[in-house]
Chains A and B, each alone.
Chain A
Amino acid sequence: MSTVYNWHLGRKMKYPYQAAYPKRQFAFVFNINRCIACQTCTMACKSTWTFSKGQEHMWWANVETKPYGGYPQFWDMKILRLLDKANQGKQDWSGRVSDDPKRPYGQFDGKTIFEAERMLTPSSTRVLGYLPTDEEWNFPNIYEDNPVGPPGKRFQYHKTGVKLPEHKTWFFYLARICNHCTYPGCLAACPRKAIYKRPEDGIVLVDQKRCRGYRKCVEACPYKKVMYRGNTRISEKCVACYPRIEGKDPESGGQPMETRCMAACIGQMRLQGLVKMNGDGTWAEDRYNPLYYLVHVAKVALPLYPQFGTEPNGYYIPPRWVPREYLRQMFGPGVDEAIERYAYPDRELLAVLQLFRRSHLIIFRYEVKEGPKIYETTHRGRKLTVYNDTAIAYGQNGKEIFRTTVEEPIYVRPAKHANTI
């Protein structure tokens, strides 16, 4: 085991390989507050990559309802339970949320999936995990938005349609793809070294020629985003639509382009990018990269289950209405500050939020040109000032991709009053 630095955890941790970081890292921010589970991303991915025989159960991109659902079912509860068993009652954070980019969320004092030695059996096992059952893979979204019907009435359609039983409590939608982790569990576990992380963009891929289908990666990935294909007997996973990232899609004009799931999002809740990396694995300061801004400056976007220890590169703006204890378990200690800032966005944050899903090209830099005040009002007891600011997005080649501005709405006088002035 080597020792690597994990900035999500704010400390060094054990990892089977020495640290090696890409020049840029594929990363994304999902705004959960906007997701209504339309599943357009899910189908965009499915129809592009996993429509063949043997891939029926594969959903590289999925949207699941929390806390009721998961794909595969119970994935997060199961791994959290294993970690708790390995280090009972000690999976805690200490310190404070701070501006230090090396430990922005304080320090995680518990054990990661690479450090749970007591639970790693046989001794050749490198990562704590489990293999989901076929049944857990096969029914994405089952019982998620609606609990089961009356017991003993299986295979019967509900007579009253929309009056299906409901969960009478809070829930939210969690969109997920592979996190292309900095310290991937799948890569660490593979006995064939068939999984690799690309040095140019940090995308994690399975070498289909080296893979022998041992499924150690499926077992080790805590997010369960590597899937086994029975008819080819090898494992497959999200490829981050790498031809699009490379600018090889004919539509891209040679510029890096967002993945299919990002580009298809009708709720405009996704922003994807390629962030600059330092030699020590932290993000290089890039103040006007929108992802850097959201994660390190505004701090509204947080990693998913950072305590797993893989340093995932998917970040989430947490939902405002969900009990904080649940969110702290899912996104770490930065939740309260993130929600406070997001609920009452300042001028720059509001401008950056307008960059989500406005173009299929990847934004490398943004600029905010301040405009005049449009109006002032109060909303839920707080003063709200809206300015006519312009957010401008630039691509890898430094050229402007688009600009978003605020305009006061134009009201068209109805025909019957057209001549009454």
Chain B
Amino acid sequence: MPYKDPDPNDPDVLVGVALPAHAEAIREMAYVFAEEFIRLGYDGKHLLGLFKNPFYAAAHGAYRALGEEAIESIIEECIDAWGGVRFVTREGGRETEP
């Protein structure tokens, strides 16, 4: 553990500090994760699992802030756009999953 407790008056320690951002920042973050991971080959079920897992704090933060329904709808929308492709890599004549 640290030698001392964080000092709430220390400007470097962002304890409970809300930072200015446009209201859509978290939704945009959820869209980015959904698009990226669908392109990487995730399906809807696995992607929702990633959002639900508290270990992935950014994705999970979006899940908690927007709710499961909104996340599912984002995932669905991204699957409609990017889910129609499957990137396949062939290394030395051998096919490998992305």
Contact = CB atoms under 8 A, between A and B. Distances in A.
A167 B62 CA distance: 11
B58 A172 contact: yes
A407 B88 contact: yes
A354 B87 contact: yes
Given A67-B14, A142-B2, A166-B61, A320 B28 contact: yes
20 contacts: A33-B36, A36-B58, A36-B59, A67-B14, A135-B4, A147-B15, A162-B54, A165-B16, A168-B18, A169-B19, A169-B26, A170-B21, A170-B26, A172-B58, A268-B40, A375-B84, A386-B82, A402-B90, A402-B92, A406-B85
Interface in A137-162: 138-139, 142-143, 145-148, 151, 154-155, 162
Interface stretch (A10-18, A226-234, A377-385): A377-385
B2 A135 contact: yes
A212 interface: no
Interface of B: 1-6, 8, 12-16, 18-22, 25-26, 28-29, 31-33, 36, 39-40, 50, 54, 56-59, 61, 64-65, 77-78, 80-92, 96, 98
B4 to A, nearest CB: 8
A143 B58 contact: no
Contact of A166 (B33, B57, B92): B57
Given A168-B65, A323-B22, A377 B32 contact: no
Given A155-B1, A166-B64, A171-B61, 16 more contacts: A33-B32, A36-B59, A37-B58, A67-B14, A135-B2, A147-B16, A154-B1, A154-B5, A172-B29, A321-B32, A358-B91, A379-B81, A401-B91, A403-B89, A404-B88, A405-B88
Nearest to A384: B81
A3 interface: no
Contact of B58 (A74, A173, A404): A173
Contact of A402 (B5, B13, B36, B91): B91
A151 B13 CA distance: 14
Contacts of B19: 67, 169-170, 323
Contacts of B21: 169-170, 322-323
Main secondary structure of the interface of A (DSSP, over half): loop
B57 A37 contact: yes
A65 B85 CA distance: 31
Contacts of B77: 379-380
A128 to B, nearest CB: 18
B71 to A, nearest CB: 15
Contacts of B32: 33, 319-321
B85 to A, nearest CB: 5
Nearest to A361: B91
B29 A321 contact: yes
Interface in A183-213: none
Nearest to A325: B20
Given A36-B59, A151-B5, A154-B1, A408 B86 contact: yes
A215 to B, nearest CB: 21
Given A166-B64, A402-B89, A402-B91, A323 B5 contact: no
